[in-house]
């Protein structure tokens, strides 16, 4: 018998039990059920002889004559139920006979411990709350296929407590970020997710159309330009934990829909953002993990050391490339080093990005700030006072993965417009438009500021030792399923 036929037969059996329950005049999909505690609260403060009312999902059943032992699980923990016909009554016991693993029930009874000292409840009231029509995976086999785990996350969460712990940790991480920034006087704000001109980052946007306004809009690739408008408007410290969208590839580090933290502070700069980043990540590790040294994919990450590496120095040392040279010279030097760029019509920016990936720090056991980025790599950052071809910017790498990006914000409107124009010309994309309103906002005056972006999904990967971004997103994007 195939797995599909076996599952179909099991579903038929459950339908038969559902009809038997309904035949007793019982509604198999109940309403509100008032509990006296969660299972964890009950077991943490367990005392025999107390009355308890709890609810949850049946996860196991062991029969002993006219008595049954169930494992009942809620979002906080698990406890054993003892259901006996002459205690719970014949009608309720008959209902229990038509339950299956996966059903939700509510029970009331008296607490006691078994001969093996296991906390249990002697059930005196048994109520069906929701009949499960599909069998859960076997406990020891679970969902074998990784894509099925991501697609049916609801089952993955039921069967795998470690998966649930990751998402509890994610929630705690986001909560601690808010506490940390709020305590420093930052104001949480919300900016548009649909924008007429996508900007603030390099990326291909998703396009939509607004019928009432009869205009094309784009899901944002970054909130940066709107957050900086708020600096113009007089907010000195703002942040947004935002959802961004980029119509690009999917990998273990990329999902088309992802979460970012963006922070902007007036009168600060790149160095200020570096200090803020160190303090924030150290605080998160201490609060969420209880330690500042932890494992990530077989590597020990030690947050007691934060290194700084010059991108410009690495480019010169490894490829002989300096920012003063023309793109043609860069290409010649790269070819001599065996870098494959044949058959590609690349812009100066794209050449730099290709090489940049080759020198990303991957072997370090501590966080690394890559500084002294070429001007082409960031049209929104201020240039360094001692070298206008480099920007006052950093990228943060932890465990070989880029986690954060920050810089001293460009607030000269004329220079900003020149950068936008040069960027569009470099990309040879005439469809791109300059956000003239953002330039106009800068013309009203924006204070010098530091800006920071941190990838929440990747940060959670690091702090939960998760190998893929799909492991830290509840419902990652997947190919369409044929059901």
Alpha-carbon span 74 to 123, nearest angstrom: 17
Task: Give the fold, CATH level 3, of 3-136.
Answer: OB fold (Dihydrolipoamide Acetyltransferase, E2P) (2.40.50)
Provide the token pair at 392: 């006052």
**260 contacts: CB under 8 Å, gap ≥ 6:** 222, 223, 241, 242, 244, 453, 454, 455, 456
Alpha-carbon span 419 to 376, nearest angstrom: 9
Give the pTM: 0.91
Q: Which of 117, 276, 54, 78 is closest to 185 using CA atoms?
A: 276
Q: Are 89 and 95 in contact (CB under 8 A)?
A: no
**CA count, 13 A, side-chain hemisphere, 29:** 4
Contacts 24+ apart (CB under 8 A), 243-247: 243/193, 244/201, 244/220, 245/205, 245/206, 245/219, 245/220, 245/221, 246/203, 246/204, 246/205, 246/206, 246/221, 247/203, 247/204, 247/205, 247/206
CB count in 10 Å sphere of residue 188: 12
Q: Are 96 and 83 in contact (CB under 8 A)?
A: yes
**169 contacts: CB under 8 Å, gap ≥ 6:** 288, 460, 463, 464
Domain spans, the chain:
3-136, 158-471
Task: Give the fold, CATH level 3, of 158-471.
Answer: BirA Bifunctional Protein; domain 2 (3.30.930)
Q: Give buried/exposed letters for 369-389 (b at 16+ CB in 10 A, else e).
A: bbbbbbbbbbbbbbbbeeeee
In a 3-state reduction of DSSP, which class is residue 253?
coil
Q: How many degrees, rounded to 5, is the angle at CA 280 between CA 279 and CA 285? A: 100
Q: Which of 429, 431, 425, 364 is closest to 397 using CA atoms?
A: 364
Q: How many degrees, rounded to 5, is the angle at CA 140 between CA 136 and CA 144? A: 70
Q: Which of 347, 474, 471, 455 is closest to 404 using CA atoms?
A: 455
Q: Are 334 and 350 in contact (CB under 8 A)?
A: no
- In angstroms, the first-to-last Cα distance of the chain is 20
Alpha-carbon span 160 to 142, nearest angstrom: 8
**274 contacts: CB under 8 Å, gap ≥ 6:** 369, 394, 406
Q: What is the pLDDT along the chain (483 residues), one digit of tens a residue?
A: 555 556 689 999 999 999 999 999 999 998 999 999 999 999 999 999 999 999 999 999 999 878 999 999 999 999 999 999 999 999 999 999 999 999 999 999 999 999 999 999 999 999 999 999 999 987 545 566 788 889 999 999 999 999 999 999 999 999 999 999 999 999 999 999 999 998 888 888 999 999 999 999 999 999 999 999 999 999 999 999 999 999 988 889 999 999 999 999 999 999 999 999 999 999 999 999 999 999 999 999 999 999 999 999 988 988 888 888 887 888 888 888 877 776 556 666 677 777 777 777 877 899 999 999 888 888 889 999 999 999 999 999 999 899 999 999 999 999 999 988 887 776 655 566 889 999 999 999 999 999 999 999 999 999 999 999 999 999 999 888 876
Q: Which of 129, 130, 138 is closest to 159 using CA atoms?
A: 138
Q: Are 439 and 117 in contact (CB under 8 A)?
A: no
Give the DSSP letter string of 388-407: EEEEEEEEEEETTEEEEEEE
Query: What dihedral angle (degrees, nearest 10) is formed by the CA atoms of 330, 334, 340, 344?
Result: 10
Give the DSSP letter string of 264-278: EEET--HHHHHHHHH
Strand order in the sheet with 215-219: 194-195, 215-219, 207-210
Burial class (CB in 10 A: 0-12, 13-18, 19+), 142: middle
Q: Which of 304, 60, 276 is closest to 184 using CA atoms?
A: 276
pLDDT value for 48? 97
Query: Largest alpha-carbon pair distance within the chain?
Result: 90
Q: What is the pLDDT of residues 57-113, one digit of tens each?
A: 999 999 987 899 999 999 999 999 999 999 999 999 999 999 999 999 999 999 999
Query: What dihedral angle (degrees, nearest 10) is formed by the CA atoms of 88, 92, 98, 101?
Result: -50
């Amino acid at each position: 018998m195939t797995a599909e036929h076996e599952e179909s037969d099991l579903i038929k059996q459950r339908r038969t039990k559902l009809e038997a329950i309904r035949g007793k005049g019982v509604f198999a999909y109940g309403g509100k059920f008032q509990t006296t505690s969660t299972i964890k609260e009950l077991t943490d403060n367990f005392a025999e002889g107390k009355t308890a009312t709890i609810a949850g999902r049946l996860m196991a059943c062991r029969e002993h004559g006219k008595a049954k032992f169930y494992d009942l699980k809620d979002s906080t923990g698990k406890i054993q139920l003892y259901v006996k016909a002459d205690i719970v009554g014949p009608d309720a016991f008959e209902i229990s006979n038509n339950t299956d693993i996966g059903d939700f029930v509510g029970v009331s009874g008296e607490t006691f411990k078994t001969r093996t000292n296991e906390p249990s409840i002697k059930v005196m009231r048994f109520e069906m709350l929701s009949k499960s029509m599909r069998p859960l995976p076997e406990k020891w086999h679970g969902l074998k296929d990784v894509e099925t785990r991501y697609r049916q996350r609801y089952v993955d969460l039921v069967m795998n407590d470690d998966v649930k712990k990751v998402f509890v940790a994610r929630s705690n991480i986001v909560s601690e970020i808010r506490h940390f920034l709020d305590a420093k006087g930052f104001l949480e704000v919300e900016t548009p997710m649909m924008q007429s001109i996508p900007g603030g980052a390099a990326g291909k946007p998703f396009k939509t159309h607004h019928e009432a306004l009869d205009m094309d809009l784009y899901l944002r690739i970054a909130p940066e330009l709107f957050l900086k408008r708020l600096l113009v408007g007089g907010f000195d410290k703002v942040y947004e934990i935002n959802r961004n969208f980029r119509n690009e590839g999917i990998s273990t580090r990329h999902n088309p829909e992802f979460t970012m933290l963006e922070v902007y502070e007036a009168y600060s700069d790149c160095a200020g953002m570096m200090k803020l980043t160190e303090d924030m990540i150290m605080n998160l590790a201490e609060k969420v993990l209880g330690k500042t040294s932890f494992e990530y994919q077989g590597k020990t990450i030690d947050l007691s050391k934060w290194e700084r590496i010059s991108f410009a120095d690495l480019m010169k040392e490894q490829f002989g490339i300096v920012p003063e040279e023309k793109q043609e010279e860069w290409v010649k030097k790269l070819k001599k080093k065996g870098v494959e760029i044949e058959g590609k019509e690349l812009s100066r920016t794209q050449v730099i990005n290709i090489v940049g990936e080759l020198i990303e720090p991957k072997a370090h056991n501590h966080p690394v700030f890559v500084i002294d980025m070429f001007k082409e790599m960031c049209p929104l950052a201020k240039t360094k006072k001692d070298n206008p071809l480099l920007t006052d910017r950093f990228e943060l790498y932890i465990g070989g993965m880029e986690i954060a990006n920050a810089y001293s914000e460009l607030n000269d409107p004329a220079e900003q417009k020149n950068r936008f124009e040069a960027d569009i010309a470099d990309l040879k994309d005439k469809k791109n438009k300059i956000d003239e309103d953002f330039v106009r906002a800068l013309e009203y005056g924006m204070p010098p500021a530091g800006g920071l972006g941190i990838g929440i999904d990747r940060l959670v990967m690091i702090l939960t030792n998760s190998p893929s971004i799909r492991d830290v997103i509840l419902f990652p994007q997947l190919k369409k399923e044929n059901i």
